[in-house]
Amino acid sequence: MRSKLPQAGTTIFTVMSELAAKHKAINLGQGFPDFPMDEALTEGVHKAMRDNLNQYTHMNGFPLLRERIADKVNTLYNAQVHPDKNITVTPGGTYALFTALTALIHPGDEVIVFEPAYDSYIPTIEINGGKAVSVLLTYPDYSIDWEEVRAKINPATKAILLNSPHNPTGAILTEQDMRTLESIVQDTEIVIISDEVYEHLVFNGHSHESVLKYPALASRSFAVYSFGKVYNCTGWKLGYIIGPDEWMKEFRKIHQFNCFTCNTPMQAAIAEYLSEPDAYLLLSKKMQVQKEKLEHYMSATRFKPMVSNGSYFQLYSYENISNESENDFAVRLVETAGVATIPAAAFYRQPPNHRVLRFCFCKKDEVLEEAASRLVRAGY
């Protein structure tokens, strides 16, 4: 078989998790919480199953869930989103991104991608015959050089792919970023694809700047979200995408021939749970506590924390520890300290030598403390 992704191998997340298991290491690599989700949500699934909500639901998503999503979005972002026309429930955020790009990209189309980038972006563009045009985020704050974006736009530019809060850096877009983006795409047909799965994980008094808050952007955007990141249930693989009516019709043409529909009882449970907004509105404060605890424990190490204003992640520099490549150093940490991280190099096609690792802090206190203690005992 001729490969469509000849350069792709097993993802770094799988590689590091397997290495962590082999060495019985603490896994601060993959982005999933290790604390339990709200029992009310699991009980909601049980109730839905007992109520016989066990067959296919609507292709676009459980109707009540789409209504609750529309209410939430309209309240948070003052965006008029129609539950039938503009929302599709998907088996996770990555699926939504893949399907949106597949609906959009034709051979030869270019998509501007900001690196470091979540690992699915570029392969998805290439699978569909497109070309990923990279703009490197500015080290060390990982901000966007908008003048470089302007310079790379040409008649082949089909889309710009955003991610805020950003994985892996924890950087966030500001209102000024959004206004600048508005001016750049004005009078063009460029589509915005906005990965906002960490929308409720924004720290240090900042707010999430969704494309849906800006009418001129919302009218040309697909925005992607994840319930797994909000409700500590990443294994449920449920998310949703919001977009203009005509674009959503194209999205659903592909969706109907792929998964068709998502898990019914889980959708029903989340629909009921969305009536309790504190479950997502208080998430940022709770997760910031975990970030600050990791920073406190890591202060005894030789690692240097970098600014994280959102997501599950914080980058730490090891420039005062080693000159090794990020991949080599990450492997050595697993083998000698029993702590697994993700090298930032994994999020680049041609990684610069910044010597930073991604740590995931959505873990129990004792796990974060033990990870830092292991690093100290190993001399890091």
- Alpha-helical (H) ranges within 190-344 are 215-218, 228-231, 245-255, 264-273, 278-281, 283-298, 326-337
**Of 346, 294, 311, which Cα lies nearest the Cα of 206?**
311
Q: What is the mean pLDDT of residues 89-108?
A: 97
Q: Which region among 2-16, 216-230, 249-263, 365-379 has the lowest average model confidence (pLDDT)? A: 2-16
Please give the pLDDT value at position 232: 87
* For residues 216-233, average pLDDT: 95
pLDDT at 4: 84
CATH number, domain 12-30+282-377, options 3.60.21.10, 3.30.420.10, 3.30.70.980, 3.90.1150.10: 3.90.1150.10
Q: What angle do CA 33, 34, 36 make, to 5 degrees?
A: 95
Collapsed DSSP state (helix, strand, coil) of residue 103? helix
- The token pair at 210 is 């969704």
Judge whether residue 5 has pLDDT over 80: yes
Cα distance between the two ends of the chain: 45
The mean pLDDT of 231-260, rounded to a whole number, is 96
User: Mean per-residue pLDDT for 85-111?
Assistant: 98
What mean pLDDT is reported for the chain?
96
For the full predicted model, state whether its pTM sits above 0.85: yes
Average pLDDT over residues 120-126: 96
pLDDT of residue 30: 84
| pLDDT the model gives residue 350 | 94
pLDDT of residue 320: 93
Neighbours of 128 (CB within 10 A): 18
Classify 360 as helix, strand or coil. Answer: strand
Distance CA 105, CA 108 (A): 8
Identify the three-state secondary structure at position 6. coil
For 248-270, the pLDDT digits (tens) are 999 999 999 999 999 999 999 99
Report the amino acid identity of residue 200. Answer: H
E-assigned strand segments in 42-176: 87-90, 110-115, 131-136, 157-163
* HSE-CB for 307 with a 13 A CA cutoff: 13
Confidence of residue 31 (pLDDT cuts 50, 70, 90): confident
Q: What is the pLDDT of residue 8?
A: 78
> DSSP code of 294?
H
Q: At 13, is the pLDDT very low, low, confident or very high (cuts 50, 70, 90)? A: confident
The C-alpha atoms of residue 208 and residue 80 are separated, in whole angstroms, by 18
* Distance between CA atoms of residues 296 and 313, nearest Å: 15
Could you tell me the pLDDT band of residue 62, with boundaries at 50, 70 and 90? very high
- Prior bond of 140 cis (ω within 30°): yes
- According to the model, what pLDDT value does residue 15 have? 83
How would residue 17 be classed by pLDDT, with cut points 50, 70 and 90? confident
The tens digit of pLDDT for each residue in 150-167 reads: 999 999 999 999 999 999
What does 30-79 look like in DSSP terms, one character per residue? S----SPPPHHHHHHHHHHHHTT--S---TT--HHHHHHHHHHHHHHH--
Residues 326 and 343 sit within 8 Å (Cβ to Cβ): yes
Contacts of 275 (CB under 8 A, 6+ apart): 68
Instruction: Summarize the confidence of residues 82-103 as an average pLDDT.
Output: 98
pLDDT of residue 296 exceeding 90, the answer is yes
Question: Has residue 90 got a pLDDT over 80?
Answer: yes
Confidence (pLDDT) at 157: 98
pLDDT greater than 80 at residue 12: no
Q: Can you give the residue ranges of every domain in the chain? A: 12-30+282-377, 54-276
How confident is the model over 195-201, as a mean pLDDT? 97
* pLDDT at residue 176 tops 80: yes
How much is the pLDDT for 6?
85
> Which CATH number does 54-276 carry?
3.40.640.10
Average pLDDT of span 71-90? 97
Which H or E run includes 12?
helix 12-22
